Amino acid sequence: MAQVIAEVSRTFNEFLLLPNRTRTDCSPATVDLRTPLVRHLAGERSAIELGSPFTSAIMQAVSTPDLAIALARNGGLSFLHHNQSVQDQAAAVRQVKNFKAGFVTSDTNVRPDDTLSHLVSVMRRTGHSTAAVTHDGTATGRLLGLVTSRDFHPQRHDLDGPVAGRMTAIAELPHAEADTTLSEANARLWDQRLDCLPVLGTDGHLQYLVFRSDYADNKRFPNQAVDAEKRLRVGAGVNTHDYQERVPALLEAGADALCFDSSDGYSDWQAQALSWVKKHYPEIPVGGGNVVDGEAFTFLAEAGADFVKVGVGGGSICITRDQKGIGRGQASAVLDVAAARDAFCERTGEYVPICSDGGLVHDYHVALALAMGADFVMMGRYFARFDQAAGAKLPTRDGFVKEYWGEGSNRARNWQRYGQGGQGLIFEEGVDGYVPYAGDLNEGLATTIAKLKTTMVSCGSVTLPEFQSTARLTLVSDQSFQESHANVTLRDTPATIA
């Protein structure tokens, strides 16, 4: 007869945090959201730490290079999806690794013999008013000068004349060497009262432009997740089918961490794949999952996983529970796996971080997941709402929405993630839908981080380990759940007030 686990399977909505005493040293400004990403010795620091405990889902609709850049600048990490060719995924990793904050690849470029009217049309197309004049009109050609919209006027100058006649030539143009840091470039912009500083390679070819107008933006991200060379960090999803080809290509492209991505990671396939990576590429951290109980966590940790993802069936686009009857409430899953993580650490002296993946509906669910022992969270729906995600932004009667579809939907057909036998999906495990549009990731995530910090302050914690070890949770009844919400008629609800 099957074993029935006595404990009910619970979700985040069934819990609330109790406030703890808030000390005077405890304020949002002193809260430190740093968290370990990968396996490390207990009491030591993880080789990769995130500045904030957020990762974006390994999904077509979510983790684009643009989103990875924005999230890493905010201290988190994206895992670029593997539902694309090895070459395309490696190129996406390269795009993130090549990003240099404040160093812009010029998109407005002309040749010296191009006419001013051509320049006007290029500026109109890009919306930018500074153009690089290079020998071949490309972003990386030999720089001959800069020309801006202030250098000519259609009524004063002959628009059929060449750009060279109005540009500031390279001989008179302050410029920087390739190894210039952003703070050195910014210092020159201000000291020499420049609007733009070109950065050149040794052969005089243009590499980047640094703009004074980006200065405030560059100061905005004190918490970036960067590698030893100050490049933004990025992760990549892999699967148990083509990993022997995919893993080396992703490493070559510069991925900082990999993660086996499966709707059910408690399998010999995943253990074999983890061991293969550990044997051939011991230097690259690799995570596993997804699991929902301690037994499965221990299995993957022993197989070499450097972190383990928790969650089956809770994703907002996921219908695995409806289709297969497999899954577990996310709160119960995280609590069970966190206990196994601590027991594993006690036994081996090694701490293997865990990630709560999927099913985070409200911002406060992030705090609950962390309090329950998750070291970081992974979110799909949350990030899919932002400009930087892949889905199209579409107008509706009430505003905008973004497309968001599951990896197990017919649209994504990520059969490598779902063990249905053979190459293809026999039935869908995900849906294709819309989420409310939420604008720029930087602004949305700042609000979520502000809420998380104030929750931690109410719980008397300034670090995540402190939060995890001191948080007190209570189960809520249906009645107290209802009491949690506003209990008045809201102003923007049409209603007759008696």
Q: Which of 108, 109, 298, 320: binder of ligand RVP (CB under 6 A)? A: 320
Alpha helices in 137-214 (DSSP H): 182-191
What letters, b where the CB count within 10 A reaches 16 and e where it falls short, cover 111-132?
A: bbebebebbeebbeeeebebbb
Phi, psi angle pair for 345, to nearest 5°: -65, -45
Check if the beta carbon of residue 403 is closer than 8 Å to that of residue 375. Answer: no
Using CB under 6 A, which of 13, 60, 316, 461 touches ligand RVP?
Answer: 316
Decide whether 137 or 359 has the Cβ nearer to ligand RVP. 359
Given a contact cutoff of 8 angstroms between Cβ atoms, the answer to whether 334 and 310 are in contact is yes
Stretch that binds ligand RVP, among 43-51, 206-214, 336-344, 401-409 (CB under 6 A): 401-409
Among 162, 294, 359, 391, which residue interacts with ligand RVP (rule: CB under 6 A)?
A: 359
Instruction: Choose the stretch contacting ligand RVP; rule: CB under 6 A; options: 132-140, 379-387, 389-397, 477-485.
Output: 379-387
Q: Which of 31, 33, 59, 301 binds ligand RVP (CB under 6 A)?
A: 59
Identify which range of 3-11, 316-324, 341-349, 364-372 contacts ligand RVP by CB under 6 A: 316-324
- Residue number with the smallest Cβ distance to ligand RVP: 430
> Least CB distance from residue 124 to ligand RVP, whole Å?
39
CA 366 to chain centre: 15
408 binds ligand RVP (CB under 6 A): yes
Question: CB of residue 379 vs ligand RVP: minimum separation in angstroms?
Answer: 4
Nearer to ligand RVP, 167 or 378 (CB): 378
- The secondary structure of 216-266 as a DSSP string is HHHHS-TT--B-TTSPBP-EEEE-SSSHHHHHHHHHHHT-SEEEE--S---
Q: How far is the CB of 63 from ligand RVP (least distance, A)?
A: 9
Interface with ligand RVP by CB under 6 A: which range of 24-32, 191-199, 243-251, 309-317? 309-317
Query: Rounded to 5 degrees, what are φ and ψ at 289?
Result: 145, -175
- State how beta strands 350-351 and 109-110 pair: unpaired
Q: Does 379 participate in binding ligand RVP (rule CB under 6 A)?
A: yes
Residue type, 445: L
Cα–Cα distances (Å) from 328 to 264, 273, 435, in that order, read 12, 25, 24
Q: Which residue has the tokens 């406060």?
A: 364
> Which residues does the annotation mark as catalytic?
318, 417
By beta-carbon proximity to ligand RVP, the closer residue of 151 and 261 is 261
Residues in the chain: 498
Tokens of 425: 């999906």
For the CB of residue 79, give the shortest distance to ligand RVP in the complex, in Å. 9
E strand or H helix at 446: helix 441-458
Beta bridge partners of 16: 474
Residue 30 tokens read as 């002193």
| CA-based nearest residue to 456, from 443, 446, 469, 444 | 469
**Is position 378 an interface residue for ligand RVP (rule: CB under 6 A)?**
yes
Establish if 358 lies at the interface with ligand RVP (CB under 6 A): yes
The CA distance from 399 to 394, in Å, is 9
* Residue range at the interface with ligand RVP (CB under 6 A); choices 96-104, 112-120, 317-325, 474-482: 317-325
80 belongs to the binding site for ligand RVP (CB under 6 A): no
| Pick 307 or 382: Cβ nearer ligand RVP | 382
**What is the nearest approach in angstroms of ligand RVP to the Cβ of residue 418?**
8
Among 51, 235, 288, 406, binds ligand RVP (CB under 6 A): 406
H or E stretch at 389: none
* Listed residue (200, 207, 108, 107) closest to 148, CA to CA: 108
- 423 versus 479: smaller Cβ distance to ligand RVP: 423
318 binds ligand RVP (CB under 6 A): yes
DSSP, collapsed to helix, strand or coil, labels residue 39 as coil
The pair of structure tokens assigned to 421 is 């036998």
Which residues have C-beta within 8 Å of that of residue 270, sequence separation ≥ 6? Answer: 240, 260, 262, 288, 300, 303
Q: Does position 57 bind ligand RVP by CB under 6 A? A: yes
Residue 273-292 contact track with ligand RVP, rule CB under 6 A, x = bound: -----------------x--
Interactions with ligand RVP, residue window 15-44 (CB under 6 A): none
Question: Using CB under 6 A as the criterion, what x/- string covers residues 429-468 for binding ligand RVP?
Answer: xx--------------------------------------
Work out whether 315 is an interface residue with ligand RVP (CB under 6 A): yes
Q: How far is the CB of 258 from ligand RVP (least distance, A)?
A: 15
Residues that bind ligand RVP in the complex, under the rule CB under 6 A: 57, 59, 290, 311, 315-318, 320, 357-360, 378-382, 406-409, 429-430
